[in-house]
Amino acid sequence: MMKNKYIVASIAIMLAIFIVVLYVLPQWGVTNRAQGQSYVTDVFDQSRVTTVDITIDENDFAKMLANPLDEEKMYSADIVVNGEKVENVGIRTKGNMTLSSVAQMEDSERYSWKIDFDNYVDEQNLHGLKKLNLNNNYTDPSLMREYLSYTLMQKMGIPTPAFSYMYVTINGKEWGLYLGVEAIEETFLDRSFDNSRGDLYKPDGVGSDLKWISDNIKDYTGINLKTNKDTKDQSELIEMLDAINHGGDIGKYLDVDEMLRYFAVNTAVVNLDHYQGSLKHNYYLYEENGVFSILPWDYNMSFGGFGVGGMGGGGGKPGEAGQQNDAGKQAANKANPQQAAGGAAQGEQAAKPNANQAAATKAGNAQNNMQRGKFPGGGGGMADMAANFMSEDNINFSITTPVSGTTLEDRPLLNALLSNDEYRAKYNEYLQEIATNYFTEEYMGTMTADIANLITPYVEKDPTKFYTTEQLKESVSGEKSLVQFAVKRSASILAQLSGELVVEANTTGGMGGPGEMPQMGDGQNQGNWQPPQMGDGQNQGNMQPPQMGNGQNRGERPPMGAGGPGSRTAAANQGYSMTTIMEISTFIVILIVGIVYAFFYKRRRS
């Protein structure tokens, strides 16, 4: 009888431990996790401009500047963020087109930087942050495109990296105003998802369009696995690709609602340096328990900065074929008008180098650098894309077939979602929510004015800036401001939703430029088209967003981590994930069974 009491007592103790593990420890975990990941507020404080002071060996820095395209080479440095020092961190240049563009400039070394806190010291971090990106805002005179896009993603409940403005110095020299952005890696996943142990992918290259190639993961060389590289067979990815390409049950493999919100935002801000454009990159996929989400990344060319159809408004190196308004090409044409006249014979002669061309190309390079860095208007090259962001092609970018430089069929993830009537209707609802709640003159005007007030003093003293303070001011107010882009884009979205405006997608490749006018409903032409009239005679530009309880606009979702509908981070921050709880529970059960077995075994022997 006594032995039975011991057994019962032991089981009771184990059950008590189980209850503690299940209910008490998760609450304790909330505190620990919050303390371990306080970087969202401590490092990315959006109420101020964070100071980032980098100290690196002068010889190492010279090597890095001499070989900026060697992105794989890390150098050791010390960093001080708002007075808090972290020693022996890794630093390197980062970027794709922006990196190569700045590398070609003769008068700028304003690269974007990646800071890796635990590159040399394992598990070293800054309030939980392990990797920090410092983005140089190239091609963006407003310095706000990426900030506004990430904000909108947060408002729509998309897991979004933390971000804020940062003023950088390197070895005591001012390097200017940057946008600091949290890297999407394990730390981000831990605060954003219930299960942070899933597979993270960054597609860029072969297979990044997500078209079916085969059931062999090795054929998808451009779908780059970032986590679990040694333990996963990536069968979940193959199953998802099979479903979206072959009419499978996509709801089984996709977080459909999250993706619809994501693509609604991306379409609204006309972000085409992306999956929806010709380059099919700048996005992440995250697999959680077999279900995939899509994550936002790299928005410096949103708000029409990339151009419908491709790299609008120039692009490429000075003098490169096809760049009609490239300064280098114009200078070359002036130097040799016979070559500029065209024709096969002249084209052959143009291929031969001569002194005039060399001088003209150099002059064009210098002119492009000046236009990139100091003067409004632009004149070709990647930085000039921003000058054409108010084009009709951008304002009226199709919401029905929201791709550019490609076809919807060649983007099977988006095609599979929008081919479902129920999903398309929800996507349209999210577009309407964005158009009526966020792309208003009041909302965008207030947000851009607040940002401008915060960063203008830093822009004024920035010695490496690509654009002038005056260009920043023009981006906030006036006919060619981001505010007016949003207002006109909102009107276009609402007109397309109502059927008043019909827009065919621009599926041609190339470098963009002016396109044909979209077809209007009711026989209207673009020149006479007016924004749709709203209730009480208001048009979209003057419409006030409806006020909801607690001061929130309808549909506005709290930023990630603040709770509320659509916030996955809220669930993720409730201590341990369900997976962890299940593992602990299994361990407790096994322990109980073991104790019971031990008592019975002892009883039998006695």
Q: With residue 6 as reference, give the H or E element that holds it.
A: helix 2-19
Res 388: pLDDT: 85
Is 302 within the bounds of a domain? no
- Residue 524 has a pLDDT of 39
Name which of 146, 174, 175, 178 is nearest 165 in CA terms. 178
% of the chain beyond a pLDDT of 90? 61
Top mean-pLDDT range of 240-249, 302-311, 357-366: 240-249
pLDDT, residue 305, reads 85
Q: Rounded mean pLDDT of 54-79? A: 96
Q: Is 517 or 65 the better-scoring residue by pLDDT?
A: 65
Instruction: Please indicate, yes or no, whether residues 50 and 176 belong to a single structural domain of this protein.
Output: yes
Lowest-pLDDT choice from 3-12, 116-125, 154-163: 3-12
Note the pLDDT of residue 71. 82
> Is the same domain home to 176 and 80?
yes
Q: What is the pLDDT of residues 383-436, one digit of tens each?
A: 555 678 999 999 999 999 999 999 999 999 999 999 999 999 999 999 999 999
Residue 16: inside a domain, yes or no?
yes
Nearest to 379 by CA among 393, 392, 365, 390: 365
Mean of all residue pLDDT scores within the chain: 78
Answer yes or no: do 77 and 19 share one domain.
no
According to the model, what pLDDT value does residue 172 have? 98
Same domain, residue pair 24 and 67:
no
pLDDT of 44 above 50: yes
Q: Tell me, yes or no, whether 16 and 59 share the same domain.
A: no
Q: Are 75 and 28 in a shared domain?
A: no
Question: What contacts 552, CB < 8 A, 6 or more positions away?
Answer: none
Structure tokens at 555: 């549909």
Which of 5-19, 162-176, 214-228 has the lowest average pLDDT? 5-19
Please report the pLDDT score of residue 4 as a whole number: 61
How would residue 231 be classed by pLDDT, with cut points 50, 70 and 90? confident
**Model pLDDT for residues 530-545, shown as the tens digit of each residue:** 333 333 334 433 333 3
Same domain for 120 and 59, yes or no, is yes
Residue with tokens 């490496």: 464
Question: Which residues are within 8 A (CB) of 177 and not within 5 positions of it... i.e. 6 or more apart?
Answer: 49, 137, 143, 165, 166, 167, 168, 455, 458, 459, 462, 465
Residue 596 lies in a domain: yes
Residue 151 and residue 123 share a domain: yes
Q: Is residue 76 domain-resident?
A: yes
Residue 521 has pLDDT above 50, yes or no: no
Q: Is the pLDDT assigned to residue 5 strictly greater than 50? A: yes
Picking from 158, 190, 222, the residue at the C-terminal end of a domain is 190
Same-domain pairing of 68 and 158? yes
Whether the per-residue pLDDT at 185 is higher than 50: the answer is yes
597 in any annotated domain: yes
Among candidate residues 190, 206, 241, the one where a domain is terminated: 190
Tokens 């006594």, residue? 2
Q: What is the pLDDT of residue 242?
A: 99
What's this model's pTM, rounded to 2 decimal places? 0.73
Burial call 84-109: b when 16+ CB within 10 Å, e when fewer: eebeebbbbbbbebbbebbbbbeebe
Whether the pLDDT of residue 295 is over 70: the answer is: yes
Listed residue (252, 234, 233) closest to 243, CA to CA: 252
- Average confidence (pLDDT) over 521-536: 38
Comparison of pLDDT for 578 and 62, the residue scoring more: 62
Q: Pick the more confident residue, 318 or 91.
A: 91
Based on the fold, state whether residues 332 and 369 are members of the same structural domain.
Answer: yes
Nearest to 430 by CA among 268, 600, 588: 268
Residues ≥6 apart with Cβ < 8 Å to 128? 36, 37, 38, 39, 187
Note whether 179 and 156 are same-domain residues.
yes
Domain count, the chain: 3
Query: What integer is the mean pLDDT of 98-117?
Result: 95
Assign residue 381 a region (left: φ > 0; alpha: ψ between -120 and 50; beta: otherwise).
left
| Shared domain check, 77 and 28 | no
**What is residue 308's predicted lDDT score, i.e. its pLDDT?**
75
C-alpha dist (Å) from residue 200 to 97, 232, 235: 23, 11, 13
Q: Are 83 and 77 in contact (CB under 8 A)?
A: no
458 or 520, which is more confident? 458
Residue 323's pLDDT band (cuts 50, 70, 90): very low
> Of the candidates 164, 190, 216, which is a domain's last residue?
190
pLDDT computed for residue 59 by the predictor: 98
In angstroms, the CA 220 to CA 59 distance is: 40
For residue 568, tell me if it sits in a domain.
no
Q: Which of residues 327 and 580 earns the better pLDDT score?
A: 580
For residue 71, the one-letter residue type is E
pLDDT digits (tens, 9 = 90+) for 558-580: 433 333 333 333 333 334 444 45
Strands (E), 257-401: 283-288, 291-296
Residue 159 has pLDDT above 60, yes or no: yes
Q: Which domain holds residue 30?
A: 2-34+585-605
- The reply to whether 6 falls in a domain is yes
Question: How much is the pLDDT for 29?
Answer: 43
What mean pLDDT do residues 279-292 have? 97
Direct distance between the N- and C-terminal alpha carbons of the chain, in angstroms, rounded to an integer: 14
Residue 404, in any domain of the structure? no
